[in-house]
Amino acid sequence: MAFICTEGVSKVYRTGRVEVHALCGVSLRISQGEYVALMGPSGSGKSTLMHLLGCLDTPTSGHYWLSGNDITTLDDIKLARLRNREIGFVFQNYNLLPRLSAQGNVELPMVYAGVRRSERTRRSSELLSLVGLGDRLSHKPSELSGGEMQRVALARALANRPSLVLADEPTGNLDTRTGQEIMRLFDSLAEQGNTVIVVTHDQDVAAHARRVIRLRDGRIEGIN
């Protein structure tokens, strides 16, 4: 079985009597180590699909397997453990905790995973150096530029050595030059064998991926 496998996945949101069909029977396979972009216009379902692939939500119907685990059979506690162990997230708005330093933000997933303090300190320092922020360990988010905050978010995503890195519009709030620098970091991750999925509407960002999955109206419109 592929590293990521969905079969007939649908997601329906209900508000009173209104039903919104965000995904309609999506089936796809992504191999370990693939670099994939999810593209589509607003309302196409790409963010919903990312949330499902990241185990932040569960499908209304259909099945999703991640690394051999049938996600649709797991309870909330098991899903949380799987997310912490297997998945790293990079969000457009960074989602850094303002009271923590760069190093503290990177250490946070390791705290939840029960990693001892000395190892957290060593690995967070190593990761921040990897993304070019070895001299910003003690800086809080308010003391960092947008590009630097996104680098911290990427370092945090890698803290527990995830098998899957998911990024939602990772360059959306960045200028062109900084966005290109961030994408080079994603290229490096893919070259090292990580599975990387980037949700984007930007053709230049999607061009970094090895495969592009296009969605429209909750369905896969094409794969190239």
Tens of pLDDT along the chain (224 residues) come to 689 999 999 999 988 889 999 999 999 999 999 999 999 998 899 999 999 999 999 999 999 999 988 998 999 899 998 999 899 999 888 999 999 999 999 999 999 999 999 999 999 999 999 999 999 999 999 999 999 999 999 999 999 999 999 999 998 888 888 889 899 989 998 998 899 999 998 999 999 999 999 999 999 999 98
Q: How far apart are CA 89 and CA 155, in angstroms?
A: 10
Q: Output the pLDDT for position 195.
A: 95
| Strand partners of residue 87 | 164
Torsion angles phi and psi, residue 167, rounded to 5: -130, 125
**Parallel/antiparallel/unpaired status of strands 211-216 and 35-39:** parallel
Q: What is the dihedral of CA 200, 204, 208, 209, to 10 degrees?
A: 40
Instruction: Please answer whether residues 29 and 199 qualify as being in contact, where contact means their C-beta atoms are separated by less than 8 angstroms.
Output: no
Structural element, H or E, at residue 179:
helix 176-191
Distance from first CA to last CA of the chain, Å, rounded? 21
For the record, the structure tokens of 70 come out as 């049938």
Output the pLDDT for position 12: 95
pLDDT, residue 166, reads 96
What percent helix, strand, coil does the chain show, rounded to 5?
Answer: 35, 30, 35
Q: What is the CATH number of domain 4-223?
A: 3.40.50.300
**Which residue in this structure is represented by tokens 């939500």?**
57
The answer to whether the predicted template modeling score (pTM) of the entire model surpasses 0.85 is: yes
Question: What φ, ψ does residue 10 adopt, rounded to 5°?
Answer: -130, 150
> What gap in Å lies between CA 204 and CA 43, rounded to an integer?
21
* pLDDT at position 177: 87
Question: How far are the Cα atoms of 83, 116, 136, 148, 209 from residue 129, in angstroms, in the given order?
Answer: 25, 20, 9, 12, 25
Domain range annotation of the chain: 4-223
**pLDDT value at residue 119:** 97
How many whole angstroms separate alpha carbon 155 and alpha carbon 88?
9
